[in-house]
Structure formats: structure tokens, C-alpha cells
Amino acid sequence: MLELTRIREHKDDLIKSLKVRNIDATQDLSAVIKLDEDRRATQHQMDTELQELNALSKQIGELFKTGKATEANELKEKTASLKENSTTLKNKLQEIEEAITEILYRIPNIPNPLVPAGNSDEENEIIEEFGNVPSLFEGAVPHWELAKQYNLIDFELGVKITGAGFPVYKGKGARLQRALINFFLDEAIKAGYEEVIPPHLVNEDSGFGTGQLPDKEGQMYHCTTDNLYLIPTAEVPITNIYRNVVLKDTDFPIKNVGYTPCFRREAGSYGKDVRGLNRLHQFDKVEIVQIAHPDKSYDTLTEMVNHVKGLLDKLELPYRVARLCGGDLGFTSALTYDMEVYSAAQEKWLEVSSISNFESFQANRLKLRFKEGANKPKLAHTLNGSALALPRILASILENNQTENGVKIPKVLVPYTGFDIIN
């Protein structure tokens, strides 16, 4: 959520920056400024009347002490009127603040100057590419065929139990899935991240805190009876650990990693691009989260990108790094890098990770601040990244490493799987 001070002082610059997202925020930002002026005027009036009320109360007490009850009672009538007006002003102030919040909740984060203009993922900027695209043997098949051939994943059984998008992993498929989770966690811990196991459901405050609500309400599974939401990513519960927290500057860097299942409705998803593991309603992911000092958050972003690149290097997968354009940038992000792995059998690039700096946007919603010495608390910066999302990584490993004699397991995973080939 944008800060009111920033909107007041830099409205025109913010309007210009948001055009990179293909958004004209003129009306919303102007409305916020007008409402904020009303809010401050109302608050000033309340404070003035409170001072008058306190002065009258003191005067009434003195009059009663000196036996001037008639004069005191006359002043009490005036205080009753002031109290009634104060209640009216308090209600007005609450309405104004709610109106401001409602508008602020629908304004996305300001893109970093590095974010390129563009309307869709087709205009994302490819900035790096690593590894060699494998040449597969004649007769190579996509991962959903391999999963069936080697009894690794049963998509039809998932439909029977739950519905489309809820696969059942079996045998070596389940072991490979678990191996990837443990590998990603171990690598993050080596890099200084502290592992946490968060809840898989969050309350409404947590959803608003990281920006999933109200922006992505339709994409989350909602348990209406208890008003809880199944998490779309571990980012939500892990980042909310620090909601309403005041840190010390010496607490940085704060680095957490967590493995969770993730749940996304993905309404409207259909067709060949969502076959197999390409797009699921439930999937596993290891997430890295950092809380950073504002002066160091972009160094932190680079560090996180390099961490994910290191994972892909060790898995021996060909990948590229994309800088998201304004039209593809997430609502809460200031700058995002996507990692895309090449899927040889499908002959396409699959996004396997997003690493983002949200600057102070989430922290303002979360009221996540830090203090430097005796200075006034300031908003921290939040970042997160997939390290990694498993479905498309698993798909790419199966497809890129298939041979006529079976699927070879990347060397780095063999200590975790206990086998080096699926056949």
C-alpha cells in the first residue's frame, strides 16, 4: 500500500510511473489527496474541540468548588453539545479513513525504473540465458506421458479423489518430489535462511497484509465458515510473522525459508498449456523470504536471484532470466525477475520461479517497521522468491533427462532419491 505522504508529495511522479503498468491512477490519487485533506481538517477540528472540552471541564470544576452551581450547569450544557459534535466528527473521521483505505487497496505498487513498458509476458525482457537445450531422441514424450509410463504421477486418480489439478504422486515420483523439497530446503539453510513451518490457512488480516486481498480474492480457496483462506504461497504466512512488529536495524538481514503446499483456484485455466504439471490447483513449493533494510533491499534481490540460479545450475537445467514488464508485474511488486526452464519435450519455456522486491508496499499494510537508534520507526522492505516451485521443475527434469532406457536423475539429487534412474 502506498504511503499517504508519498502520494501528497509526489502525485505527478507516481501517476507517470504507474503508466508503465498501463494504469491511469490520476483519479484515484487525486481522490486520496482530497480525502486526506478532509481527514486532516476533521482531525484538527476534533482536537480543537477536545481542548475546549477539557478547558470547560476544568472551569466547571472550579465553579462548583466556589459555589457557582448555576454558572457551572450552564457550561455543562455547552459541554454536552461539544461531546455530541465530537461523536459526529469521530464517525466522520472513520468514514473518511475507510474511504482512503478502500482506494489505497486498489492502487498497485510503483514499478522500479528498471521495469520495462509492456502489456503481457510476451514483452518481458530476457536478460540472461544459461545452459544448453538438450536434443532428445526420436520418440521422446512430454512429462505426462512419462509419468504414466513409469507410474510416477496419476492425474486421473487425482480427479477421482478431488478434481482436475490435484495429482497423486506415486513410487519414485513421490520420492523425487520429496527429494527436491529436501534439496531446496538444505540449500537455503546453507545460505543462511532459517526454516519455518507455517500454517497452511491464513486469516483475512494476513491476506490483506501481503496484498492477496482484495486483489486475488477470486484465486484463493476460501473456507467461509471460519473465514480462513488456503495459502496460495508460503509468502503469505511467513511474511505475516512480522505483521505489527517493530524491528531493530541490527536484526537485519532476516531470512526465512519454508516448504508448504500451495492452493490456487486458477479459475478459467484450460487447454494444452495446463496439461500435466504445467498448472495445478495444489502444488508444492519452497519459498525464501527476506525482510531487509531499505538501503540494501536491491542488493538482497540480487542475492536471492543468484541463489535460485545456483539451484538451477546444480539441477543441470537450461534456464533464462526475465525481467517482468509493467503489464505482467504483480500487484504488490516493484521489480520481479522470473526464472524460466526450457522443457525440451514441450519445446517451450516454463516459469519456475518469481523473485520480487516489494519495497515498503507490503510493509505499510503489515505495519512492519524498524528503528535505528532513537530515530522514528521507518518501514522495512520485504522480498520473496520461489526456490523453487516443484511442478514445472519436476516436469523439466523428466522431459530433459529422458533416454530410451529411462529418465536420469540429476547427480545432486541422487543422495536424496536413493536412485539415479527411473526405468
Q: Which residues are annotated as a binding site?
A: 233, 264-266, 287, 351-354, 384
Whether 39 and 96 have beta carbons less than 8 Å apart is answered as yes
Residue from 389, 396, 327 nearest 125 by CA: 327
Specify binding-site residues for L-serine. Answer: 233, 264, 287, 384
Amino acid at 36: D
Q: Which residues of 229-246 are buried (b: 16+ CB within 10 A; e: fewer)?
A: bbbbbbbbbbbbbbbebe
Angle CA 162–273–175, to nearest 5: 55
Angle CA 398–400–401, to nearest 5: 65
List, as one string, the DSSP characters of 110-143.
Answer: PPPTTPPP-SSGGG-EEEEEES----PPTT---H
Orientation of helix 297-314 relative to helix 171-190, angle to 10°: 140
Specify binding-site residues for ATP. Answer: 264-266, 351-354
Amino acid at 388: L
Tell me the C-alpha to C-alpha distance, in Å, between residue 100 and each of 4, 33, 37, 39, 88: 9, 9, 11, 9, 19
Strands 246-248 and 369-371: parallel
Q: If you ran DSSP here, which 8-state letter would residue 316 be given? A: T
Which grid coordinates belong to 375? 530515530
